[in-house]
Structure 1
Amino acid sequence: MKKPWDPKGIIEKFEAHRNEAQAGPMEAYMKHHFPFLGIKSPLRKELMREQFAEYDLPVPDELFNEAWKLYNLPEREYQYAAIVLIEKMRKHLTIDDYSILREFIETKAWWDSVDSIAPTFVGHIVKKDRALGERMMWEWANADNLWVNRSAILHQLKYKAETDTDLLFKMIRRHADSQEFFIQKAIGWALREYAKTNPHAVKTFAQENTLKPLSRREALKHIGNN
């Protein structure tokens, strides 16, 4: 019989595997934005599997409260753990969750957390109401936070044939002149991914619109520019 959900289970497991020798290189890779415990991805995933085998999931109404208990801890592995918890309960996310997902995006923001939250969670709830989703994502695309902008650009990353091409291209045009590396990269990534579904549309868009060199290079990486 499983125990009631308790984030202390994760904390105890992670602390037992703290590895200072590995933490240093991991912190350097993330430009020293965050401290690390030094737990690499394979072990972290195994420890999370142990947690879910040992403990029941929290009740849906408590999901975000429980996720914040992990997300607000200093070491980066705890933000990853919180995201895994939300992923485990993704089916419970609703269109009422835009604001709280934006809080997660803006808190301790960097590409690794944002790129886990935006396509997987935000993209999931946009599909529940595409009209509302388009309004929300356009609002995000015009926000003053570059990570919220990046999230809007990337929210359709996994949509394939369900991509709202007009919305994608509109957002990219909105940010095509951005000097931000992470925006330029997001534009290229979004286009490159959509090119797997509709290479002609991406190639035509790239030919007819001015993109930063990084964005263009990433967009056309697998389809060429001719």
Structure 2
Amino acid sequence: MANSASKARTADFQLVGNSDSAQRMAANTGNQFDFLGVLVGQRRQQSTDLVHSSKQWSIVEIFSAMGDLFSRPEREYQYVAIDIAIANVRRFDIDDMQHFCQWITVNAWRDTGDNWRQFFSKYLTFHREQKPMVFALFFKNENIWLRRIAILLQINEDFSLDTDMLSAAILYDRNTDDKQIQLAIGRALRTYSKYNPVWVRNFLRQHGLSMVAAKEARRYLLSYDFE
């Protein structure tokens, strides 16, 4: 995914962290990935100029730079790549959304999955009419990390949330034996219960969910008086 264009934009970009933070960050991901030890605030401070300058790049240059950053072994560079995508979200179209899906599965885990979800959800704030097309990129995909985005795609929405889409995404994966999927189901329902607790309560009554998902989904319902 990297080429000469990306190297021209990112060759001199380096993050600086510390080993103690790197060990803690790696432990938080089950020691699956290498880290430099750059905390969120530090990463944003160190990458401010790069992210800001990316707004002047062509779309091709953005893709190339992201490919270069994703090719680096340290996890923080992948976070910066997604930061670049989010900073330029208003410049992309639906064809670009499909292109971005290739990176979701690269060293996939909850951290980058949540960052990618934020990107696609933000895109939909500018293109509400494209929600069915964006949802279709993830729904029933063979990769669980893409399906997880289908479940969480609308998590920032309130009364604009499409309950048919949410139901379809949850029911497709309700028996999937993966903790991250089950937590995502519970999280999506828990968040929506802040706006429509009756719908969430009825959904839980009508559909059998795992203990993990149901427990997470009911967290806010306990405080509602449904009488």
Fold equivalence (TM over 0.5): yes
**Amino acid in structure 2 at the alignment position of 1:206:** L
Alignment of 1:7-22 (within 5 A): 7-11=10-14, 14=15, 17-22=16-21
How many Å separate the matches in 2 of 1:65 and 1:54? 14
How many Å separate the matches in 1 of 2:195 and 2:91? 29
Pairwise CA distance, 1:9: 4.2
The residue number in structure 2 matching 1:95 is: 94
**Any conservation in 2 of the 1:10–1:47 contact (CA below 8 Å)?**
no
The residue number in structure 2 matching 1:129 is: 130
- Where structure 1 has 5 or more consecutive residues not aligned to the other structure, the ranges are none
Partner-residue secondary structure (3-state), 2:221: coil
Find runs of 4+ consecutive structure 1 residues off by over 3 angstroms: 50-57
CA RMSD of aligned residues (A): 2.2
Pairwise CA distance, 1:7: 1.7
**Amino acid in structure 2 at the alignment position of 1:151:** I
- Where structure 2 has 5 or more consecutive residues not aligned to the other structure, the ranges are 1-7
How many Å separate the matches in 2 of 1:153 and 1:129? 17
Change (3 A) 1:38 1:223: same
Q: Deviations over 1:168-191 (max 9, x none)?
A: 012111111111101101101111
Alignment of 1:21-40 (within 5 A): 21-40=20-39
Identity fraction in percent: 27
TM-score by structure 2 length?
Answer: 0.86
The residue number in structure 1 matching 2:172 is: 174
The residue number in structure 2 matching 1:165 is: 163
The residue number in structure 2 matching 1:75 is: 74
How many Å separate the matches in 2 of 1:52 and 1:102? 20
How many Å separate the matches in 1 of 2:51 and 2:122? 25
